Amino acid sequence: MKTVLIGVGQAGGKVTTALAKYDEEMGFRAIRDALVVNSAKADLQGLPLDTVLVGQDRVKGNGVGGDNELGAEVMQEDAGEVMSELGERIDSETEALFIVAGLGGGTGSGGAPVLARELKRVYDLPVYAIGILPGRDEGALYQVNAGRSLKTLTPEADSVILIDNDAWRGAGNSVEAGMTAINENIAQRIGLLLAAGQPIEDRASFGLGDEGADRSAAQSVVDTSEVVNTLRSGGLAAVGYAESEASEDPDENVNVVTSTTRQALLTGTSLPNAVEADAALVVVAGRPKSLSRKGVESARAWVEEQTQSMEVRGGDFPMDSETIASLVLLSGIERSDRVQKFFDRAAEAERETTKREREKEAADTSFQSDELDDLL
């Protein structure tokens, strides 16, 4: 899928950089261009991508802190400049636009929904978001911001692929320490998903030579329309991944394909424990000659059962690799426990914050309270 990425905020910039690097290293060329937008000058410095600084008049390059309403305002005010920079990067070949942002901060949290709306207004292209949710031990403000941002972003974007910052944290690692590993995990999953939707002509270069371009060996290769159709139901999505050592003989790989797909869905998703979905796509990557068609079909049937969805697509991704990898895209995961828990956590944090604010206001205004007025 020929994609233009737009990273917003600090997390957006770092994850966009990791994605662009992965795509380049793998030679996929699915990411055609990338731009990073931020209101904090320091977070843009050192990024190997083109950047736009927004809100300079308002915050002088110092960022918006955790104020996502201000994040939305500065993005709106400077939307013209951002859209004009993007206009130079989006062309008739572009198949999808991806906005990448941490939803718990300020610039990405407030800016991503504004940008999604602007992009949908101007382009007749799918606009997807990769939304990063704060980990459990991040503060109440992050949870509240992420809850509000997600509610605003979901109706604007064609789909929001959620990444939970707790998903790939090694035991004992803080979110901060594990960030690089998390970003690499995101890059690998999303990077492969984007590459899976690349047309077959572009695949010969994936290290397979003639084998990669052999259409008979690649009858059931996943293309862009399958990714787009899986995400068509809109709402929230997640992506799972796992890989295992493979045999050369496809018959011996039936179980490898099914067990790798099980791992991808049950332990490897970007949103742990999200299983129920409206639609799904199973992509099995490996050498065409060792991929088991029977394995792919039974993996697909198993995902259908687990997700309780009648709409599960499946296909191959020919790739020169000793391993077999399984990528599972889940779309329409709103009903899953994990999403419900996140919204409960955000609502609880919002109630606590409001209560604290009210108490503070009450303390500040106690001299003008009604009760005192009544005494006079």
Site residues for ligand GDP per CB under 6 A = 9-11, 14-15, 40, 43, 102, 104-109, 132, 134, 138, 142, 165, 175, 179, 182-183
- Shortest Cβ distance from residue 70 to ligand GDP (Å)? 10
- Shortest Cβ distance from residue 11 to ligand GDP (Å)? 3
User: Which residues neighbour 134 within 8 Å (Cβ) at sequence distance 6 or greater?
Assistant: 102, 103, 104, 142, 143, 146, 165
> Which segments of 78-133 does DSSP mark as H helices, in order?
79-87, 107-122
Q: Which is nearer to ligand GDP, 222 or 271 (CB)?
A: 271
- Shortest Cβ distance from residue 247 to ligand GDP (Å)? 35
User: Which residues neighbour 68 within 8 Å (Cβ) at sequence distance 6 or greater?
Assistant: 105, 106, 109, 110, 145, 148, 149
User: Which residues neighbour 219 within 8 Å (Cβ) at sequence distance 6 or greater?
Assistant: none
Q: Which is nearer to ligand GDP, 104 or 126 (CB)?
A: 104
Rounded Cα–Cα distance for residues 342 and 346 (Å):
6
- Shortest Cβ distance from residue 363 to ligand GDP (Å)? 30
Q: Which is nearer to ligand GDP, 99 or 182 (CB)?
A: 182
Q: Which is nearer to ligand GDP, 11 or 282 (CB)?
A: 11
- Shortest Cβ distance from residue 308 to ligand GDP (Å)? 29
Residue 196, Cβ neighbours under 10 Å: how many? 26
- Shortest Cβ distance from residue 129 to ligand GDP (Å)? 13
Q: Which is nearer to ligand GDP, 48 or 216 (CB)?
A: 48
Q: Which is nearer to ligand GDP, 97 or 167 (CB)?
A: 167
Q: Which is nearer to ligand GDP, 36 or 264 (CB)?
A: 36
- Shortest Cβ distance from residue 219 to ligand GDP (Å)? 37
Strands of the sheet with 236-245, listed across from one edge: 50-53, 31-38, 3-8, 96-102, 127-133, 159-164, 236-245, 323-331, 279-286, 311-318
Rounded Cα–Cα distance for residues 7 and 4 (Å):
10
C-alpha to C-alpha distances, 299 to 50, 77, 110, 261, nearest whole angstrom: 41, 48, 39, 6
Please report which helix (H) or strand (E) contains residue 141, including its range. helix 140-156
